[in-house]
Structure 1
Amino acid sequence: MSAPALLAPGGTLEMARVAVDEGADIVYVGPLGWSRRPYESEMTDEDIRAAIAYARENGRQVRVVLNTFPSPFEMDDFARKVELYAAWGASGFIVTDPGAIRLIRGLVPDTLIHVSIGSGVTNSWDAEFYREIGADVIILPYRWGEEEIAETRCVSGIGLEVFLFETVQTGKICPGKCIMSSYLKFREWLDIEGKATSGSANRGAKECYRVCQTNWEFSSEDDDPVKLKLRRDARLMLEQLPAFIELGVECFKISGRERPVPMIRDLVRFYRKALDGIAAGQTDMSVYVDELATLRERWTVEKRKRVNVLMDRADHYADAAPTLAVAQ
């Protein structure tokens, strides 16, 4: 059994280099204002070029995340970005917008195109649609299990990528099809490279506040209020790995451009060991249970910290909104 590719985040140049050093086959990086993340977790073009060079020197690859929805007025800039990164040696792109996928395929015919989770895939036929317009790989929702993966493989010849998250068949929303952060604060933002954007993180505005991952109170006239999350927290995956590989999954993705570098370092090291072990015939995942438990606890702590930071920012922007409106 051959080992699938391990795709790891590069939220900073340091993180990208660490991911390469620890055994990631592919590192993904996002340009400022084009990849649906806070500016702290996006890169300047200079750092992207350095990350591509470092990966290539070590026999690894870089995918550039361009998963916002560009407007007609941004398409020329979008095209220039694509050609620039391809010329520097980026091996592919992670994209959401169908029109952008077609554009990239025309500009760089030999590049690899991943469909981002932002596309909001909901069934196996969506995967075939993206294959037909030029995509090579599609990231599947982490709520999908073996049955959904098998069906997608049957329906479409597109490459399959999954998050290294536990499959949890619960939740109120589908990742990707969300503009809720815009309702907390619709504001303009000018990034370091001069891209003016307003509104949703899907357009490059800063930022997604993870409103689905904080507690909300729901009530009706007849019932007592209850607190719940719109989306259940995901756990790091382990047990499903051998079965998913047997089903044809060819790329496993570690999420976390916003996480601390040591967290990503240890995750890449752990999953590199697990995937290499499976390739060598070690399919009993119980040997990794203790190590995974520690990583799961660390992941949960870091995730809670990040959600709290984002919600605090949203509260700040909401409080400042009347003042800002007067000033404008």
Structure 2
Amino acid sequence: MKKPELLAPAGNLEKLKMALIYGADAVYMGGKAFGLRAFSDNFSHDELKQGITFAHSLNKKAYITVNIFPHNDDLPELPDYIKSVSAMGADGIIVSDLGVFRIARQVNPALPIHISTQANSTNWSTVRFWQELGAARVVLARELSLEDIRGIRQKVDIELEAFVHGAMCMSYSGRCLISNYLTGRDANRGECAQPCRWKYYLMEESRPGVYLPVLEDERGTYIFNSKDLCLIGHLPELIESGLNSFKIEGRMKSVHYVATVVKVYREAIDSYAAFPDAFRVKQEWLEELQKVSHREYTTGFYFNKTTEQDQIYTSSSYIQTHDFVGLVKEYNPSTSMAIVEQRNNMKIGDEIEIMQPGQENFTQTITAMFNDEGNPIEVAPHPQQMLTMPVSKPVSPYAMLRRQDPRRTRL
């Protein structure tokens, strides 16, 4: 069988490297303009080039998001931007708008174009339309069922991509105007304020200023707040449906989130490919996906129409049980010592879990730490402080240290 591509988000250069090192086949990233994540770090011109070069050094791919719905004043700089990312060796661009598609084909007819989920491709005729125009891939709308995807696959001969994990919109992706209406920030130009996650009360027209909870809860209700998508338990059906690429949402998520989710899906896809008939969902995969910052999980539209069970009404908080506290930079096998960059306060006596690419996790207690001058320290409180510490098993660069915090399960 041909394994589907595992496509990961890259909000900055560090996240890009972590995603690829932890097992993604490709990443998608945005420059400082023309993408739909205006508030992620995004990439400068030089960083885009570095990211593409790094991906290619691992024989992996990098796609650039150009998926805004542009207005006239967005267009003058667009041709040069597409020329630039094309010259860098980008493996494709992701677009939503026919005008952007037209300009891209004029600038470089050979540049692969992927049609964003924002274009709302919900049927085979739409997908075939993009195929006939020369698109290389269509990212299907999140609102499709697995049966819909199978039906599209039977009618078209083009790469198909779909989301398998991450945040969901409460509206059809790309068709929600709440942010624009309430804040003036246009979601279709990368500036969504996520008002679907806000708390709401009901006000009766003849009683202005009297706010009533929609549910009988003094905190109000989060009536638009969708659960997060998670399809780790349904990979066989997804693979057999004919999807070419499995996409993880989250360019604004943390390094810990990206590495953990990618590692889980990498292991699951490889496990199914090796022994399809014996595939089972491992408990440790489910546990790993609970450790990253997330909302409660749902399978979205894949197996049934969404109901009230796919929304969260009590809080807009994320669930989080583990803190990312350190990143391994180097390891000395002769001394069993690791050089670690601190990412969160940690101290001697903390029990930590160490996760690394392609290896099983292990736990240990921090028994000693030394600062960059070689002096012993009890606690590492300074952001990105470099320290040396003994580890109980060999580790590789980019291994991550995390610590469970039983006192805090919600942000």
Q: Which category describes the TM-score, using the shorter chain as reference length?
A: 0.7 to 0.9
Q: Is the 8 A contact 1:98 1:130 kept in 2?
A: no
Residues 124-149 of structure 1, C-alpha deviations (whole Å, 9 max, x = no match)? 32222222333221222334222110
Contact 1:219 1:225 in 2 (8 A): no
Residue in 2 aligned with 1:313? none
Measured after TM superposition, the shift of residue 306 of structure 1 is 7.6
Q: Which residue of 2 aligns with 1:236?
A: 230
Q: 1:202 corresponds to which letter in structure 2?
A: N
Q: TM-score, normalised by structure 2?
A: 0.64
Matches within 5 A, 1:295-310: 295-296=289-290, 298-300=292-294
Which string of whole-angstrom CA distances, capped at 9 and with x for unpartnered residues, describes residues 47-89 of structure 1? 1111011111111111000111122333231111111011011
Of 180, 198, 215, the residue aligned with 2:178 is 180
Letter of the structure 1 residue corresponding to residue 69 of structure 2: F
- After TM superposition, list the pairs within 5 Å mapping 1:6-155 onto structure 2: 6-155=6-155
Q: CA deviation at 1:302?
A: 11
The answer for the alignment partner of 1:193 in structure 2 is none
Q: C-alpha separation between the residues in 2 aligned to 1:101 and 1:286?
A: 41
Matches within 5 A, 1:156-195: 156-165=156-165, 173-186=171-184
| Structure 2 CA distance for aligned equivalents of residues 40 and 244 of structure 1 | 29
Whole-Å separation in 1 of the counterparts to 2:166 and 2:43:
29
The share of aligned pairs that are identical, in percent, is: 29
Q: Which amino acid letter does the alignment assign opposite residue 247 of structure 1?
A: S
Amino acid at match of 1:243: E
| Separation of aligned partners in 2, 1:108 and 1:306 | 42
- Of 242-251 and 174-183, more deviation after overlay is shown by 174-183
Query: Counterpart of 1:39 in 2: which secondary structure?
Result: coil
Greater relative contact order (Cα < 8 A, sep 6+): 1
More strand by share: 2
The partner residue of 2:254 within 251, 260, 279 is 260
Structure 1 residue identity aligned to 2:186:
S
Alignment partner of 1:200 is 2:186: yes
Gaps of 5+ in 2: 206-211, 216-220, 298-315, 320-411
Q: Shift in Å at residue 305 of structure 1?
A: 5.3
**Cα distance in 2, alignment partners of residues 179 and 167 from structure 1:** 18
Relative to structure 1, the CA distance from residue 54 to residue 305 in structure 2 (aligned partners, 3 Å threshold; closer, same or farther) is: farther
User: What do residues 204-224 of structure 1 show as CA deviations (whole Å, max 9, x unaligned)?
Assistant: 4xx212222444345889x98
Contact 2:200–2:213 under 8 Å retained in 1: no
The 1-side partners of 2:107 and 2:180 are apart by 32
Deviations 1:172-212 (CA, angstroms, capped at 9, x unpaired): 621111232122222xxxxxxxxxxxx413124xx212222
Q: Distance in 2 between matches of 1:284 and 1:95?
A: 39
Task: Report the aligned-residue RMSD.
Answer: 2.9
Aligned position for 1:250:
244
Structure 1: state its 5+ residue gaps. Answer: 187-198, 308-328
Larger Rg: 2
Give the letter for the 1:173 counterpart.
S
Provide the secondary structure at the position in 1 that maps to 2:68. Answer: coil
Select the residue among 262, 266, 274 that pairs with 1:272. Answer: 266
Q: Distance in 1 between matches of 2:256 and 2:60?
A: 20
Tell me the matched-pair count. Answer: 290
Q: Distance in 1 between matches of 2:278 and 2:182?
A: 46
Paired with 2:196 and 2:50, the residues of 1 have a C-alpha distance of: 35
Other structure's SS at 1:63 match = strand
